[in-house]
Chains A and B, each alone.
Chain A
Amino acid sequence: MVELGKYAGPVLAAYGVSLGLVLALVWLTLWKSRKMRRKLETLEREMGLHG
């Protein structure tokens, strides 16, 4: 395990906040993408535009 000494708090907090924000952004991006694709596919099917 890496030895962070007296700076363990700041270092872990910096990585924790960064990874948390990046993961939240990735999740939100994928969730919105899937939601929009489903909505569009449904509408295209209803309008007879999609094979």
Chain B
Amino acid sequence: MSIWEYANPRKFMQTSAWALPWVAGLAVVTLLTGLVWGFFFTVDDYRQGATVKILFVHVPAALMAVNSWLMMLVCSLIWLIRRHHVSALAAKAAAPVGVTMTLIALFTGAIWGQPMWGTWWAWDPRLTSFLILFLFYLGYIALWEAIEDPDTAADLTSVLCLVGSIFALLSRYAVNFWNQGLHQGASLSLAPGERMAMAFKLPLYVAMAGFVLLFVTLVLIRTRTEIRARRLRALEARGRMA
């Protein structure tokens, strides 16, 4: 069986209907476990005090802000190369989830930054690239809404997605490219240096898994909605011609 079979809307609807309850259930359990563990059952950090608990929403949201865009990039490339409608609709479906994650990362970062850095905002490479990524998300969503023909909208938004991918990657690797700014390096890097304690790392992994599963759940539901909207438009057009 080929993976491209799932590009068939009927096959996608069947498979996603079967998978959704499992993924959604797992998302709720994992997310609640990660957040409750992180909030209630972790100790304060010796430098950051109780603000370290913000880690369990900030890092998973930032992870998903970047990865949502990368998922949209893959879907956009599939659309541009193979013209599968489900992939274009999946990219469209992921954008509101991605923009929400980016907003959460920006908000929680500012709330965390104020007591730790003494400022809500700094024009630091990582913060700035995240803000630009947020603006790209808004532009991407607006472009989908602004163009009536869905295929043209999919073409243009795919190109915008390719351009925005530079900022998605910059958001992730900015702290490595430019050794400046207030933001710390990668929280879960394998490189030698100061490492996060297991007491924080384990609940963080669970919260990250929860955010990934939440993203998958929401994108599946939203893609199904987009497929239905596309069928509705097709039937309405057929009705008008009859």
Which residues of A come within 8 Å of B, CB atoms? 2-8, 10-11, 13-15, 17-18, 21-22, 24-26, 28-30, 32-33, 36-37, 39-40, 43-44, 47, 49
Contacts and interface: CB of A to CB of B under 8 A. Distances in A.
Interface residues of B, number: 37
Interface of B: 35, 39-40, 44, 49-51, 53-54, 57-58, 61, 96-97, 100, 103-104, 107-108, 111-112, 114-115, 214, 218, 221-222, 224-225, 228-229, 231-232, 235-236, 238-239
A11 B229 contact: no
A7 B51 contact: yes
A12 B161 CA distance: 34
Given A25-B97, A47-B239, A33 B221 contact: yes
A49 B146 CA distance: 31
B235 A36 contact: no
A27 to B, nearest CB: 11
A44 B236 CA distance: 10
A2 B97 contact: no
A16 to B, nearest CB: 10
Contacts of A4: 50, 53
Contact of B115 (A7, A22, A32, A49): A7
A39 to B, nearest CB: 6
Contacts of B44: 5
A36 B100 CA distance: 22
Nearest to B104: A18
